[in-house]
Chain A
Amino acid sequence: MSETHYHEDHGAIADAPLIELVDVRAAYGTIEVLHGISLSVPQGSVVALLGPNGAGKSTILKVVSGLLQPTAGEVRLAGRVVNGAPADELARLGLCTIPEGRGVFPNLTVRENLWMATMSGVPLADVEEIAYARFPRLGERRKQLAGTLSGGEQQMLSMARALSVNPSVLLLDELSMGLAPLVVANLYEIVAQVSQEGVSILVSEQFARTVLGIAQYAAIVLHGTITKVGTPAELEDELSAAYLGS
């Protein structure tokens, strides 16, 4: 069961993948929403999860980040099974997650938000330096409550955390939610740079176009299963079908 489809199809990846899901099932309470997901993310690559609302993309990310325990199957990080590891432990080990639509603490200032990122071990001064260098706008607003930032600025703040804590794995959920196309393109440019530094990235997205520009692989998620995996080019046809919800 552990074969992942694109290994065979393309033979592109020889190394052990950094993130690997093997036949993972997950449920909220007693309602199963993931019915056997197998997927792998090779080191240094970007894999996009695509699919309509409610397909289970966020749930896959929750399982990987440790917020939701799978009810069956295995989650492996760098070859080690991490089922049952708490999210905070994984975070301190170098897994950085930007959750859906709410990557910041609204009642904390920008600086305090960055302070929270230091729990993975990077000193505050370094975090601030990296964040303000990349997003000067945040530097101007370090005393402002994060809840009062604009949507784009909030997303910058959460990206700043992802950049500064030096992760080996980055999980991004709907980076584009509620943002102008230009801002989205900008953010994904940064994601591409980060992946070039060797970070493995799993990203869930509704806006297929933007993310397919930087993703090496994409998986289509429908009703809690992965129906197709491939390179962006291969998936062109499937995508329209998936979004029409056939």
Chain B
Amino acid sequence: MQTFLQYTILGLAIGGSYFIAASGLVVTYTTSGIFNFAQGAIAMLAVFTYWQFRWGWNWPAPLALLMVLGVLAPLLGAALYQVVMKNLRGTSEVTKIIVPIGVMLGFQALATWVWNPTSSTPRQFQKFFGPNAFVHFGSIKVSWHEIIAFVIAIAIAVGIRLLFVRTRSGVAMRAVVDDPELLQLNGGRPERLALISWAGGSFLAALAGILIQPMIGSAMSAGQLTLLVIDAFAAAMFGRLRSLPRTLAGALVIGLTTTYVIAYFPSKWTWSSSFRNSLPMIFLFIVLIVLPQDRLRGATVLRLRERFRMPSIRTAWIAGLVLMVVVFCLKVIMERTAVNTLTLALTFAIIALSLVLLTGFAGEINLAALSFGAIAVIVVYHFGTTGSGTAARTTLWGILLAAVVTALVGAVIALPALRLRGLYLALATMAFGVFVSRMVLTERNERDIFGLKFTIFTAGQLTIPKPKIGPFDFNSPDAFLFLCAGLFAIIGIGMVYLRHSGYGRRLAAMKDSPAASATLGMSVVRLKLSIFMMSAAIAGIGGVMMAAQIGTVNSDRFDILLSLSLMMITVVGGIGYISGALFAGIFLIAFVQMLDLTLKKFAVDYSSIEAIFLFFVSVVTVLPATIGITMGKNPSGAVSDIVAGLDQIKQSKPLVITLVGLEAAIWALAATDIITNWHFVILTMVNLFIVPVVGGKILLARAMRGVPKPVPPELIGIDRPFTFDDLAEMDRALDLEGVVVLSAETVREGATGVSA
């Protein structure tokens, strides 16, 4: 009984903290329509900052609290809204999800940079009034901290309720959800309300973090804290991002069950702590499944700022060929380590292809691509290899089996989530990803499953040999490089074929409007299920290749944060393009690594200004996230810009010839060892990026002076305003001269009446 009470109180306190974080989510979502994935990261930053003030610099607690909760957290939230989130109006759901994820990853990298996790002294974070401040109720002993946490949670629940009902600003916040324009017509300021609510949401996140950190009783870890408050997502979803009482109920249930699991599961169940950690995610998954579906909104199809053009099948084949040739040329001049990096980049590009298929083609979102990779790797490890030692190889059957299993797992995840769309499906996959990380990849003990002795993640790491397919052995690094490049090209070309087929058009239709597609008699369920399975299989194959390239992988390789980074960078590259996936792989693996190595090399070479280079090494860790955050400004992705630039260049034959000739010359110099690979890389960058940009600018300027580039008729009205001259032009083209009702002249003259 005593244990029960003790744990109940702890559970209520933890649940209360979850509620505080969740209520922040509700408030920001209410006024801005953006689900703040960075909520946990804000809490994490607050915990570290508070630690810095309180124990790093020994400030008194009230002052540290005032600084963090009263000043910094609200400022951070307001700045976040003003600088980043405000720009997300009119972007697609994917962008609205990716940008906050970028913020989350950025904060994460920032915290690791400022508070180096490998520093010698572990950071201790204590409860309010110290670790020994208890109150005794009869025989049970309750820490003041837990009481404070629970009381604050209740106070906040009441406070927000009063705000929403009793104050005009609060009612106006609810009015914003209904109709921001109408509120403006009433004289309200929706933008300012959103700003205030983001400041408030950030305050609540910070408060939750400071309350919860000492209660979970482990060392401060940026990654863990970020994901910990994500547990509040489940509570927020239980309240459907609207109802505060339900959110509170959900949070308390989660808090209580997780503590009861610790208290009452037999200690010989080695998996119970993993289970406790994944419980909120399981809860989130169940809530998402039983959640009544939001009405499909077919009527309000927004005009989005994103636009993707699919290449023709011929272009796809040519691009595939070019890729192979480029990879070959690079291989000739590259060192072994560089080849390895390039191969790894290509394997990530294959995983990113699964995202292009799912999100770019079908508009669904998977935030846990690498978790599917992990499952495929487990399958291959257990069932898909032959031989041992250096003769060990992954078999074709192993890879195919892994693809089938991941596809099936994909179906299991997608089936319940099929009714869901956008944000909800994204959260469901994220729940799955965290579940895999916390529950499956921590399974190192031998289990007796139905009489079968089995260890899922043996010794915390799995060794995957290189594949051998029929007579072809891909054990050598070069052969494996070509395998990965070929695989990427083939899957990519296959996807272009798919996109051009009737199936692909149905996907595009579903992406635009599921409701309309259903009305037209399409089986949206079959379509979604099949695309999700295909995507999962591709992620699985990519995951196996990734593991085979690395050799021995541990669970960190499949971390949910890495999945999120990959998704984000693919969106940055252009989620609608095959080349967007290539961009993601190259950028995330090769480019970041190259920058990192280059800067570290410089730091060694020029040790007097070492600090400057090491600073930039840290900057590089924040770089991908920073780029992700800028997505709001350019939702079609970088590839679309490059494509637009290429279109300009293609117009000028001399420029194309110069570029290709120069590049060939640079390559020849490198191949004959006249210049080093460093020079090759730098010259190539100059040649391929700077020359086209400058050349393109010059061409553009010349084009501006002359006749403007004609806009294809189907894009009139999209690329530039539709004018009455266009109408006349179109009428002429269609031989409708006599039918014209309003010619440009009658319009310009204004009220001259209507010609019959």
Interface residues of A (CB under 8 A from B): 5, 27-32, 35-36, 38, 65-67, 86-88, 91-92, 96-97, 99, 102-108, 112, 115-120, 161, 222-223, 225-229, 238, 241-242, 246
Q: How far apart are the CA atoms of A86 and B190 in the complex, in Å?
A: 11
Closest to A109 in B: B171
Residues of chain B with a CB closer than 8 A to A86's CB: 184
- The answer on a CB contact under 8 Å between B177 and A107 is yes
Residues of chain A with a CB closer than 8 A to B748's CB: 36
Could you say which of B168, B178, B184, B724 contacts A67, with CB atoms under 8 Å apart? Answer: B184
Could you say which of B171, B184, B722, B752 contacts A87, with CB atoms under 8 Å apart? Answer: B184
Could you say which of A32, A104, A161, A246 contacts B754, with CB atoms under 8 Å apart? Answer: A246
CB interface residues, B 143-182, toward A, < 8 Å: 168, 171-172, 174-175, 177-179, 181-182
- The answer on a CB contact under 8 Å between A36 and B168 is no
- The answer on a CB contact under 8 Å between B181 and A87 is yes
Residues of chain A with a CB closer than 8 A to B131's CB: none
Q: Which of A35, A38, A105 has the most CB of B within 10 A?
A: A105
Residues of chain B with a CB closer than 8 A to A35's CB: 724, 747
CB interface residues, B 725-756, toward A, < 8 Å: 741-742, 747-748, 750-754, 756
- The answer on a CB contact under 8 Å between A229 and B187 is no
B189 at interface by CB-CB < 8 Å: yes
Residues of chain A with a CB closer than 8 A to B168's CB: 115-116, 118-119
B33 at interface by CB-CB < 8 Å: no
B710 at interface by CB-CB < 8 Å: no
- The answer on a CB contact under 8 Å between B721 and A225 is no
Q: Which of B187, B190, B741 has the most CB of A within 10 A?
A: B187
Q: Tell me how many residue pairs across A and B have CB atoms closer than 8 Å.
A: 114
- The answer on a CB contact under 8 Å between B722 and A116 is no
B719 at interface by CB-CB < 8 Å: yes
Residues of chain A with a CB closer than 8 A to B721's CB: 27, 30-32
Residues of chain B with a CB closer than 8 A to A27's CB: 721
- The answer on a CB contact under 8 Å between A91 and B741 is no
- The answer on a CB contact under 8 Å between B186 and A161 is yes
- The answer on a CB contact under 8 Å between A92 and B754 is no
Could you say which of A104, A118, A119, A246 contacts B741, with CB atoms under 8 Å apart? Answer: A246
Known contacts: A32-B722, A106-B178, A115-B168. The answer to whether A227 contacts B184 by CB under 8 A is: no
Closest to B724 in A: A35
B676 at interface by CB-CB < 8 Å: no
- The answer on a CB contact under 8 Å between B185 and A67 is yes
Closest to B185 in A: A97
- The answer on a CB contact under 8 Å between A229 and B751 is yes
Residues of chain A with a CB closer than 8 A to B753's CB: 227-228, 238
Known contacts: A29-B303, A32-B723, A112-B171. The answer to whether A99 contacts B181 by CB under 8 A is: yes
B695 at interface by CB-CB < 8 Å: no
- The answer on a CB contact under 8 Å between A88 and B189 is yes
| Chain B window 181-220, contacts with chain A (Cβ cutoff 8 Å), 1 for yes, 0 for no | 1111111111000000000000000000000000000000
| Chain B window 108-129, contacts with chain A (Cβ cutoff 8 Å), 1 for yes, 0 for no | 0000000000000000000000
Q: Which of B177, B748, B754 has the most CB of A within 10 A?
A: B754
- The answer on a CB contact under 8 Å between A88 and B177 is no
B56 at interface by CB-CB < 8 Å: no
- The answer on a CB contact under 8 Å between A222 and B754 is yes
Size of the chain B interface, CB-CB below 8 angstroms: 37
Q: How far apart are the CA atoms of A108 and B175 in the complex, in Å?
A: 7
Known interface pairs A108-B178, A242-B754; 16 further A-B residue pairs with C-beta atoms within 8 A, sorted by A's residue number: A27-B721, A31-B722, A87-B184, A87-B185, A92-B187, A99-B185, A108-B171, A108-B174, A116-B175, A116-B183, A116-B186, A118-B168, A223-B747, A226-B751, A238-B753, A241-B756
Known contacts: A30-B720, A31-B722. The answer to whether A91 contacts B187 by CB under 8 A is: yes
Residues of chain B with a CB closer than 8 A to A88's CB: 183-190
B718 at interface by CB-CB < 8 Å: yes
Residues of chain B with a CB closer than 8 A to A108's CB: 171, 174-175, 178
- The answer on a CB contact under 8 Å between A30 and B718 is yes
Residues of chain A with a CB closer than 8 A to B717's CB: 30-31
- The answer on a CB contact under 8 Å between B187 and A228 is no
Known contacts: A105-B182, A106-B178, A108-B171. The answer to whether A241 contacts B188 by CB under 8 A is: no
Closest to B176 in A: A105
Residues of chain A with a CB closer than 8 A to B747's CB: 35-36, 223, 225
Q: How far apart are the CA atoms of A103 and B185 in the complex, in Å?
A: 10
- The answer on a CB contact under 8 Å between A103 and B182 is yes
Distance to closest chain B CB from A22 (angstroms): 12
Residues of chain A with a CB closer than 8 A to B303's CB: 28-29
Closest to A147 in B: B178
Distance to closest chain A CB from B22 (angstroms): 20
Q: How far apart are the CA atoms of A102 and B175 in the complex, in Å?
A: 13
Closest to A242 in B: B754
Closest 7 CB pairs of A and B: A119-B187, A91-B187, A105-B178, A87-B184, A92-B187, A97-B185, A120-B187
Residues of chain B with a CB closer than 8 A to A115's CB: 168, 171
Residues of chain B with a CB closer than 8 A to A30's CB: 717-722
18 A-B pairs with CB atoms under 8 Å apart are A29-B718, A30-B717, A30-B718, A30-B719, A32-B721, A88-B185, A88-B186, A88-B189, A91-B186, A97-B185, A105-B183, A107-B174, A107-B177, A116-B186, A117-B186, A119-B186, A227-B752, A228-B751
Q: How far apart are the CA atoms of A223 and B741 in the complex, in Å?
A: 10
Q: How far apart are the CA atoms of A115 and B186 in the complex, in Å?
A: 10
CB interface residues, B 380-404, toward A, < 8 Å: none
Q: Which of A65, A103, A108, A120 has the most CB of B within 10 A?
A: A108
- The answer on a CB contact under 8 Å between B186 and A226 is no
Known contacts: A30-B718, A88-B184, A92-B187. The answer to whether A102 contacts B750 by CB under 8 A is: no
Residues of chain A with a CB closer than 8 A to B724's CB: 35
- The answer on a CB contact under 8 Å between B172 and A116 is yes
Q: How far apart are the CA atoms of A174 and B405 in the complex, in Å?
A: 58
Distance to closest chain B CB from A15 (angstroms): 22
Distance to closest chain B CB from A179 (angstroms): 19
Residues of chain A with a CB closer than 8 A to B175's CB: 105, 108, 112, 116
Known contacts: A27-B721, A36-B748, A115-B171. The answer to whether A91 contacts B184 by CB under 8 A is: yes
Closest to A121 in B: B187
Distance to closest chain A CB from B714 (angstroms): 14
Residues of chain A with a CB closer than 8 A to B722's CB: 30-32
Known contacts: A115-B168, A118-B168, A120-B187. The answer to whether A226 contacts B750 by CB under 8 A is: yes
Residues of chain B with a CB closer than 8 A to A87's CB: 181, 184-185
